[in-house]
Structure 1
Amino acid sequence: MGVKNSLQAFVVLLYMSCCSSFYLPGLAPVSFCREGNSTDNCKSRIELFVNRLDSVESVLPYEYDAFDFCKDENERRPSENLGQVLFGERIESSPYKFYFNKNQTCKMICSKVYQPKVNTQLEFIKKGIQLNYQHHWIVDNMPVTWCYDVEEGQKFCSPGFPIGCAVAPDGRVKDACVISSEFNKKDTFYLFNHVDITITYHSGNGENWDGARLVAARLVPKSYKHPSKDNLNCEAHPMEIPQELTSKLEVIYSYSVTFRENNTIKWASRWDYILESMPHTNIQWFSIMNSLVIVLFLSGMVAMIMLRTLHKDIARYNQIDSSEDAQEEFGWKLVHGDIFRPPKKGMLLSVFLGQGTQIFIMTFITLFLACLGFLSPANRGALMTCSVVLWVLLGTPAGYVSARLYKTFGGEKWKTNVLMTALLCPGIIFADFFVMNIILWEKGSSAAIPFGTLVAILAMWFGISVPLTFLGAYFGFKERSIEHPVRTNQIPRQIPVQSFFTKPLPGIIMGGILPFGCIFIQLFFILNSIWSHQMYYMFGFLFLVFIILLITCSEATILLCYFHLCAEDYHWWWRSFLTSGFTAVYLFIYAVHYFFSKLQITGTASTILYFGYTIIMFLIFFLFTGTIGFFACYWFVKKIYSVVKVD
């Protein structure tokens, strides 16, 4: 009876835990009260955290401490997930601490003194100003934004603000120096050593929770040359850093904070003012409509082939009884004895398809979870963490698909197949990633992955992914070979001379144009989020474009595959993979165009890093799109030859 009661109690507790409400990890609201009224559920102290500093002119991010800013005496780092480490985020506590609803004006944080002799720290700050490095601050898991006016009276809220600005020797004002006419001295750097912080809160009146909740955090960077530590002046002239330091320079950092009540903004929608200031929603809808038109066009073409041309051909072929008529056969029917002849380099093709299947499932699940809100920008690093964990756990389908296809191709080197599936593509990506990491280590960048994390990634790869790949391959080789609807002749049929458009290379090049046309606008925003440090949140659009990409790759590959079969060219295995996989080549070309036309990246290291990471993106996208096209074409070929009568 005791065991039975314990089991019943466990079931009840499990049921209660399943039915209770929950917040997504890292997204639970925090209530704040005035100083002296704090409780376990209501805090009075507000902490400001700082993240890495980055720039649109350099791929190298740096930690906050690298620039000799004010440090927290009791510095601590919140726990970071795998995605944050891989993205190079380095969040740490700061000396900016204040109490809820307690306004403060021109309060000093710390001071730094630089001597006229060679000072590497000051030179590093000046280099950061020259490359327009940006602060990224966080309050209550929400970015502290800098909102400023742009063209047509619109306001743009950036999740970062610059270290400072500079005026060139010729008097040309650069970057943020345009915000004030006081920044006018030639060949001079101006340091933003003061911030006016405004925190907006919802008081909680009429709500079912105690205390107030923060709904916005904005700041305005300022530059003041304070007379001394004991005599701060937040209306003084800007803090100038000359090109050549001839005397002692003292930099005093300060801040002001103001609290404002606004009960019209709900806590759940506190990110809206940041996202709404980012344009391009209309462009997104235009991209979707453009992609849908392409899909409808391809669907009409495929439907015409399937319902009219193909149906007519099958009916005519199946009505042939006399041998004289049989000699008049032409087109795709003539190659039925060679259509399922194993391809050359079948081992490599099966490995690519196994890895492509793994990437496809990983991408689908990740985007689906992102649409549900589990991978929102507020949950930092969750997107990359989810992708890496899913990839590691999906070794089984990769091994199964690779082994099953390799066995169908008549391959016998099963050990080599399994090892290549588990190690080839991940090994290329890891080698590229490791080389990039060496460059980041040498430059002292915060994006450099710690050695312990690299060991952890290798442990996940060899300890989880590789065994799961072997398990999937075991079941794949255990299954029977895939049966095909027609037999393969012993002697290969000679392929007639092909026209220009039915030759392999032109067909492959044409095959990637339409899928790329469906994604290139979305690709622009993705590249902006990666290299221009803009916030990406339109996962609904991205998932819709993902589905459109699947359909477009499938239909374009089927269409070209049918044309090639009609030209009596039965080498469709590799061609179907490369036709849709060539979309990745257009992606790489667009990334090159983006680098030279949109970015202002300078320096050899940053250029190598950009193209190194672009190659990783190219390889993943090549495997992904190639696999889609292959399986679509494989289904199409089996479908049409399964209804043809073969004597």
Structure 2
Amino acid sequence: MQLRRSAPALLLAPLASAFYLPGVAPTSYKKDDLVPLTVNTIKPAAGPDGPLRSVVSYDYYTPEFGFCKPADGPKDVSESLGSILFGDRIKTSPFELKMKHNETCKTLCKHAYSGASAAFVNEGIRNGVSLNWMVDGLPAGQRAIDQVTGNPYYNPGFFVGQETPEGKTEFNNHYDIFIEYHEVSGDPDHLRVVGVLVEPYSRHYTGAVTAESCQRPPPPITLDEAAGTEVTFTYSVYWLPSSTTWATRMDPYFYPYSANIQWFSLINSAIVVIFLVLTVASVLVRALRKDIARYNRLDQINLDDLSGTSALEDGVQEDSGWKLVHGDVFRTPSHPLLLSIFLGNGAQIFVMAGFTLCFALLGFLSPSNRGALGTIMIILYTFLGIIGGYTSARVYKAMQGEKWKLNIALTPLFVPGIVFSTFFLLNLFLWARGSSGAVPFTTMLVIILIWFVISVPLSFAGSWLGFRAPAVEPPVRTNQIPRQIPPPTTYLKPIPSMLLVGILPFGAIFVELHFVMNSLWSNRIYYMFGFLFLCYGLMIMTSAAVTVLMVYFLLCSENYNWQWRSFLAAGTCGGYIFLNALIYWVSNLSLSSLTGHVLYIGYSLLISFLFFILTGSIGYFSSWWFVQKIYKSIKID
């Protein structure tokens, strides 16, 4: 499993093994010490042979499920902001686990299910909801085999019940808990939990529960939706010694993605990107060198030399293409305020994504530290507001925008406001369904507080610095009267050019995006940050190269409206991501409720919108650099 990680992570592994990151330090136990078993939300999961049927999660102690509670009531376990936003609701449980102390068929509690509760639980079983426990912070799972690669792994969580071929639902009320432990340096007083497996069973107890009751296979129990059913919950605990060390205890939980497929996709994308960049560079360098030499040679013709008249006429006849629009290429585009706001937020997202992937690549975002990825993304985006404000102000000032106060105010409010409003509306659907995945109102207030107390002031400070800095002067003067744009060819029209430009960066991340989607919606742990980092770099290079090529062809056709065209063309990658999400929705999901469909489409739109701003900003700034370079290289009278 370790060999499938990226090479940079392997090189840095010896350095990282000398210390433990904050929040993920190991806990050592002695024999008979209590080992905490905490419970998380009840989440839907896709079965090995079936699609995901729901995306609505529930609190573990939802009354309809009737699971046993601690004698003094369940207590909340502190969580990070990212963990809460991703739907974790961790609480204490009534299970008593003592280190190296086996238990057999221990009764937990009894619960009488009414007909309504039975119908609710049976519907959850048909939708594939699963329990999510943690022992010493380690997810409890089941052994599974990947259907494609044949590799074994631990699948986090286990189903509440199962549906029989006859259409009946069996409710799991007994749990065999297998806990693997490791002795540190052979010291029996330093025992650490390194693995947790749970095998759930459905058992219909007719008499007193004894140790023999768990040895013989009793008939399964089904919840009667008409008369109700009384259920006895039991569990057994088995402690198993293991050679697995604490530092590698999460490895079996990593879903065995096919490394061969990822390497093949990565190499294929890298080859395509390299050929694309080299082709763009060679075409542009050769064409531009020829154009610049011709244009500068024409400027040296002596107009008083009659013998040079024919040469001048020939030169003027050849003087076409991108030089002819030098007086309009830096003209202020339509809606400069909106464009500058998008570019400021795009720069902020670009830097945030880069830092997040670097931290993940170096191992600072351990999967054992729940919510670390979401927390670091929120923190980085908050403090990088100064970059968003500065970039937006510099761009708007270069475009000679006059509504500078509006630019300062909308840069930290417009795009984050759209994201937060969409997130809030989707959260209302979860609140209406009583889902535990709904973000609490207090957490919403915390997000708003962080937004207005930290991010907005930093964005204002960045905008102030941006407007105080000298404006970026264009290398050529802009004419007062705009030049008429000739009719474009078919492939340079807005829609075809956008579709052609956006497909290439999407192709660079398509395979990795599929794995990310599987992890996001199928309750699996994603850990291939090395591949993701490289795909991010390939996407940047592809977006920049293909957008620059489109802008060059656009200018050669005497169309100087490159600002919005470059942003929208590269941003079309976000549209392809949404289209891919729709295909995944049709082919891999079988959602049974309107809420599930709304949540999936809503969050897919939100992700695609952020990608639209990110890739659009990459396309614009690479095109801006290109246009600045070529017009600085020619002499304009």
Task: Note if 1:162 corresponds to 2:159.
Answer: yes
Out of 108, 124, 127, the position equivalent to 1:131 is: 127
Q: State the Cα distance separating 1:256 from its structure 2 match.
A: 1.2
Task: Note if 1:428 corresponds to 2:418.
Answer: yes
Equivalence for 1:629: 619
Equivalence for 2:338: 348
Equivalence for 2:521: 531
Do the aligned residues in 1 keep the contact of 2:153 with 2:252 (CA within 8 Å)? no
Normalized against structure 1, the TM-score is what?
A: 0.89
Structure 1 residues 153 and 410, CA, compared in 2 at 3 Å: closer, same or farther?
Answer: closer
How far, CA to CA, are the matches of 1:279 and 1:581 in structure 2? 29
Partner letter of residue 96 of structure 2? K
How far, CA to CA, are the matches of 1:442 and 1:304 in structure 2? 58
Equivalent positions of 1:340-489 (< 5 A) are 340-489=330-479
Out of 315, 324, 328, the position equivalent to 2:318 is: 328
> Aligned to 1:95, what secondary structure does the other structure show?
coil
Partner letter of residue 168 of structure 2? T
How far, CA to CA, are the matches of 2:288 and 2:448 in structure 1? 50
Equivalence for 1:34: 31
Partner letter of residue 439 of structure 2? I
How far, CA to CA, are the matches of 1:105 and 1:286 in structure 2? 49
Do the aligned residues in 2 keep the contact of 1:188 with 1:243 (CA within 8 Å)? no
Equivalence for 2:196: 217
Out of 558, 566, 576, the position equivalent to 2:556 is: 566
How far, CA to CA, are the matches of 2:283 and 2:209 in structure 1? 83
Equivalence for 1:47: 36
Structure 1 residues 224 and 150, CA, compared in 2 at 3 Å: closer, same or farther?
Answer: farther
Do the aligned residues in 2 keep the contact of 1:356 with 1:623 (CA within 8 Å)? yes
Equivalent positions of 1:98-247 (< 5 A) are 98-114=97-113, 119-149=115-145, 151=147, 154-167=151-164, 173=165, 186-206=166-186, 210-231=189-210, 233-234=213-214, 235-242=216-223, 244-246=225-227
How far, CA to CA, are the matches of 1:29 and 1:130 in structure 2? 38
Partner letter of residue 585 of structure 2? F
Equivalence for 1:58: 54
Out of 19, 22, 25, the position equivalent to 1:25 is: 22
Task: Note if 1:588 corresponds to 2:566.
Answer: no
Q: State the Cα distance separating 1:70 from its structure 2 match.
A: 1.1
Do the aligned residues in 1 keep the contact of 2:70 with 2:93 (CA within 8 Å)? yes
> Aligned to 1:107, what secondary structure does the other structure show?
strand
Partner letter of residue 107 of structure 1? K
Do the aligned residues in 2 keep the contact of 1:529 with 1:535 (CA within 8 Å)? yes
Out of 611, 624, 627, the position equivalent to 2:601 is: 611
> Aligned to 1:202, what secondary structure does the other structure show?
strand
How far, CA to CA, are the matches of 2:532 and 2:318 in structure 1? 50
Partner letter of residue 404 of structure 1? R
How far, CA to CA, are the matches of 2:464 and 2:479 in structure 1? 30
Q: State the Cα distance separating 1:121 from its structure 2 match.
A: 2.4
How far, CA to CA, are the matches of 1:495 and 1:481 in structure 2? 28
How far, CA to CA, are the matches of 1:348 and 1:268 in structure 2? 48
> Aligned to 1:293, what secondary structure does the other structure show?
helix
Equivalence for 2:5: none
Q: Over aligned residues, Cα RMSD in angstroms?
A: 1.9
Equivalence for 2:67: 69
Q: Which moved more, 1:149-158 or 1:609-618?
A: 149-158
> Aligned to 2:154, what secondary structure does the other structure show?
strand
Q: State the Cα distance separating 1:80 from its structure 2 match.
A: 0.9
How far, CA to CA, are the matches of 1:510 and 1:237 in structure 2? 62
Q: Percent identity?
A: 44
Q: State the Cα distance separating 1:288 from its structure 2 match.
A: 0.8
How far, CA to CA, are the matches of 1:397 and 1:272 in structure 2? 37
Aligned residues: 597
Normalized against structure 2, the TM-score is what?
A: 0.90
Q: State the Cα distance separating 1:215 from its structure 2 match.
A: 1.5
Q: State the Cα distance separating 1:327 from its structure 2 match.
A: 4.5
Task: Note if 1:289 corresponds to 2:267.
Answer: yes
How far, CA to CA, are the matches of 1:474 and 1:438 in structure 2? 37
How far, CA to CA, are the matches of 1:150 and 1:593 in structure 2? 23
Q: State the Cα distance separating 1:354 from its structure 2 match.
A: 0.7
Per-residue displacement from partner, 1:374-421 (whole Å, max 9, x unpaired)? 212111111111111111111111111111111111111111111221
Partner letter of residue 247 of structure 2? A
Structure 1 residues 210 and 642, CA, compared in 2 at 3 Å: closer, same or farther?
Answer: farther
Structure 1 residues 154 and 522, CA, compared in 2 at 3 Å: closer, same or farther?
Answer: closer
Task: Give unpaired runs (5+ residues) of structure 2.
Answer: 1-16, 45-51, 302-311
Structure 1 residues 154 and 416, CA, compared in 2 at 3 Å: closer, same or farther?
Answer: closer
Q: State the Cα distance separating 1:242 from its structure 2 match.
A: 5.0
Equivalence for 2:509: 519
Task: Note if 1:251 corresponds to 2:231.
Answer: yes
Task: Note if 1:279 corresponds to 2:277.
Answer: no
Equivalence for 1:13: none
